[in-house]
Structure 1
Amino acid sequence: MAKQPMLKFVTVDRDMPEKRAAAERNKDFHEIYAEYAAAKAQEQAGRCSQCGVPYCQSHCPLHNNIPDWLRMTAEGRLKEAYELSQATNTFPEICGRICPQDRLCEGNCVIEQSGHGTVTIGSVEKYITDTAWAEGWVTPAKPMQERVETVGIIGAGPGGLAAADVLRRAGVQVTVYDRYDRGGGLLTYGIPGFKLEKDVVLRRIEQLEQGGVEFVMNCTVGEDIQFDELRNKHNALIIATGVYKSRDLQGPGSGATGIVRAIDYLTASNRLSFGDAVPEFDSGELNAEGKQVVVIGGGDTAMDCVRTAVRQGAKSVKCLYRRDRENMPGSQREVNNAEEEGVIFQWLSAPKGFVGDPVKGVMVQQMRLGAPDATGRQSPEEIDGAIAEEPADLVIKALGFEPEELPTLWNQEDLEVTTWGTIRAEYTTGRTAMDGVFAVGDIVRGASLVVWAIRDGRDTADAVLDYLNAAEAVAAE
């Protein structure tokens, strides 16, 4: 009888891929986790309990068929595992690296609830697709039949790229427009290399190009080309711009030199990794070397900033967050990695004002948690008189992102937006009030996770195909 490859969680402990020592990894921007060896990937995949109701799958925005591809991995059927993984996820190797698995699939693993330690789902997912690339199993789109319809996609981030992939595989002619010189959006310029090395993103964009997707870069809609021109040029449009407008700080001195936006800081660092000239880094404006750095915020962007500052040689790095550790929005795994690398977290702390211009310090207000807010989280309250100055030469604002005013920028009064400024679009289809115009990702749901953008892109691409098919049927009558 063949040996049972699964249900090993009782006898085999959870074992993540080896993580480079903090003293080594905090000097470079390479990914911090090693790759599983084949035997280790099979062993860890074999810890899956194959439970009847897979909570890991139901808590994955893409509803990836996790138990089945874990079983295939445990049985050495890696090509089948990759094909099953790719069937629901356009970029599994990216999600395996950057998804907050501790909040999604792994955080809801049944064996974790029973005290045996969750299956290392993200690491196995990364291993499967990295192996697929190495073996040549990942191939460009080859539609069975070409279609004459064209679809324009505004934005080359994860949502736009996921939609482009689905549409191109269906034979649609796809053109992606993006304001930057490289595709990928925040995958390329917002997320540091120690979480997602850039060749992982660029090879996916190259794959899309080889499959027939056209990219028009350095193209800002509303300036280089008008929205109405795109509507006239294409049979359908998908808006996938993301949200790039940074939330701002208030308080005395908030306009001082040395207080910078997280997106500018991270983009400068990522551009350096490509060998680009970055004057703002060379001048010291967006360079943490030798500085006392204070990052304000508690999300994953804040974690990216503090860990980047460490690698740039900051004198000290501190993170201020107005709630406690248990109530922060960022991944706990990222917090642990940051602490290992020397970052100091000051919980229940908020900026009250800034000293000097250029900035020399942050006035830090101590907080306490009061009554829950509308989301159920406890609202932070100021503690009277509890204010202290924290020295700082560089302050990075990582308070989240808001949508740009697209109806104004694009001169489109009919483009409906919500009270939050996000585009009003139909759930699951991405349809807007404008005929033939769809929207996906953060520009619809607000700043969110990459995996949700991929889900939106795939769902909306299916809706666009339905729209094109309906139009074709009407034309044929």
Structure 2
Amino acid sequence: MSDNPMLKFTTVMRDMPEKRPPDLRAQDFREIYAEYAADKAREQSSRCSQCGVPYCQSHCPLHNNIPDWLRLTAEGRLKEAYEISQATNTFPEICGRICPQDRLCEGNCVIEQSGHGTVTIGQVEKYITDTAWDEGWVTPAAPTQERSESVGIIGAGPGGLAAADMLRREGVQVTVYDRYDRGGGLMTYGIPGFKLEKDVVMRRMAQLEAGGVNFRLNCNVGEDITFDEMRAKHDALIIATGVYKSRELQGPGSGAKGIVRAIDYLTTSNRQSFGDAVPEFDDGTLNASGKRVVVIGGGDTAMDCVRTAIRQGATSVKCLYRRDRTNMPGSQREVANAEEEGVEFAWLSLPKGFSGDPVTSVRVQQMRLGAPDITGRQSPEEIEGAVHDEPADLVIKALGFEAEELPVLWGQPELQVTRWGTIKAEFTSGRTSLPGVYAIGDIVRGASLVVWAIRDGRDCADAIMADFATPQAVAAE
């Protein structure tokens, strides 16, 4: 037993990588956690209990083989750990950075439930793959044989890219179309650098391109190329557009200047970090510098906005959410990071209207939690007479995203959608009502996590390969 490198959770305490001090990290968009050193990664991996039923694995959307790569890391066998990690996850270094591990793998860790503090799964995952990049173990797709089939993928976000990677490894010809000038989707333009530095995404884009994935960027489907043209050009199509239509605020004054969408605000900030010319940032429209900022929403996008505003030099940053801290949808870890950086949270607060044009204040209604709704969450109720004005020079709407009307935009009335406007697709395969057309990620699920999009992309690639094999088998008979 003395040679066993694992089960050390009773003698080794949980230890996250050092976090940069709030006053320093609030001055730039670099990631806030330092890297593990090799000894620390081995030590923290050794805390895994190697339990018989690994809840970390079952609660991971990708069902990553977490106990095995933790053991291999503890034993110093990093290349093998990387190979096991990469076998189920196309982008482990990205998931290690941005997955809400506190709600998924780490939140269901057995030793966490026993009071010993969860294994730092996300940080070890990040360490393994960053080491793999440094050592040259991450290589482009090199299929043993090229195939004649061609797949077009609409959307260069995590789902589309995961599918592209899997299909290229099978030798399929892949073209990815995206409306933006860089691939990566929300990983590039929606998630701030302090959570995911952009060179991490760009090196994956370069790896996919080196593996033979063709990218057609600055391409709007329905304008630069029609959906019918794409179907004629490819043997299969994957719709992986994500959901970009922002939910809107209601109430008097909601159309005033200075009230902006979270996606526009975050995209502008990320473009500015790339060094792009961004007039909306330079003229102050989408720049929080010197302003009293109010962000409305309680999800991870709202957390990205408040922490971005701090880094841009806002005078004050306040987040309004209509429920309490316990019932917010965003990561508790992100809330804690935001509070450390100076963000103030106003729980049980609902915007009722806005004054000024440009905006000067938000009319805030205080709420309380009443009876549970159909989901089991307590419904917020207004407290009569509890209303106040919150000063604001910039209001950012982070209320979530909805699907664009793709059947209308693309002239495809036969493309079936749900009552929420998302595309109706078969579970796991992604098959839609149109033959040879598949859909994955947020455009099927609604706004969700990067890790679920990766899962969908990988599953869809498997389904397409199975569908390609079927007519060949029939022809052979």
State the TM bucket, normalised to the shorter chain: over 0.9
Which 4+ runs in 1 deviate beyond 3 A?
A: 474-477
Tell me whether 1:437 sits opposite 2:445 in the alignment: no
d(CA) in 2 for partners of 1:347, 1:288: 22
Q: What residue number does 1:286 align with?
A: 286
User: 1:229 aligns to what?
Assistant: 229
Q: Distance in 2 between matches of 1:126 and 1:201?
A: 13
- 2:272 alignment partner in structure 1: 272
* Partner-residue secondary structure (3-state), 1:208: helix
Alpha-carbon distance in 2 for matches of 1:439, 1:68 = 32
**1:239 is matched by which residue type in structure 2?**
I
The TM-score with structure 2 as length reference comes to 0.99
Deviation at 1:123, TM superposition (A): 0.1
TM superposition shift of 1:476: 4.0
Q: How does 1:16-415 map to 2 (within 5 A)?
A: 16-415=16-415
User: Per-residue displacement from partner, 1:235-291 (whole Å, max 9, x unpaired)?
Assistant: 000000000000000000000000000000000000011110000001100000000
In the aligned structure 1, how far is the partner of 2:137 from the partner of 2:471? 35
1:309-355 Cα offsets, whole Å, 9 max, x none, are 00000000000000000000000000000000000000000100001
Separation in 2 of the partners of 1:462 and 1:416?
A: 22
Q: 1:164 deviation in Å?
A: 0.3
Deviations 1:99-136 (A, max 9, x none): 00000000000000100000000000000000000000
SS in 2 for 1:33: coil
Give the Cα–Cα distance (whole angstroms) in 2 for the partners of residues 156 and 49 of structure 1: 38
How far residue 475 of structure 1 moved from its aligned partner, in angstroms, is 4.0
DSSP 3-state at the match of 1:385: strand
Q: Distance in 1 between matches of 2:374 and 2:288?
A: 37
Aligned to 1:458: 458
- Identity over aligned residues, as a percent? 82
Q: Which amino acid aligns with 2:381?
A: E
For 2:137, give the aligned amino acid.
W
Report the AA paired with residue 328 of structure 2.
M
Write the deviation string for residues 85-107 of structure 1: whole angstroms up to 9, x where unpaired: 00000000000000000000000
What is the deviation of 1:471? 2.5
Q: Secondary structure of 1:87's match? A: helix
Task: Give 1:468's aligned residue.
Answer: 468
SS at match of 2:205: helix
Whether 2:14 is the aligned partner of 1:14: answer yes
Q: Partners of 1:147 and 1:310 in 2: how far apart?
A: 50
CA distance in 2, matches of 1:471, 1:135: 42
The one-letter code sitting in structure 2 at the alignment partner of 1:336 is A
SS in 2 for 1:474: helix
Deviation, 1:375, is 1.1
Please state how far the C-alpha of 1:455 moved relative to its aligned partner. Answer: 0.2
Q: TM-score, normalization: structure 1?
A: 0.99
**What is the distance in 1 between the residues matched to 2:471 and 2:306?**
50
The equivalent of 1:448 in structure 2 is: 448
Distance in 2 between residues matched to 1:213 and 1:457, nearest whole Å: 15
- RMSD of aligned C-alpha atoms? 0.7
Q: In structure 1, give the amino acid aligned to 2:433.
A: A
Q: Secondary structure at the match of 2:164?
A: helix
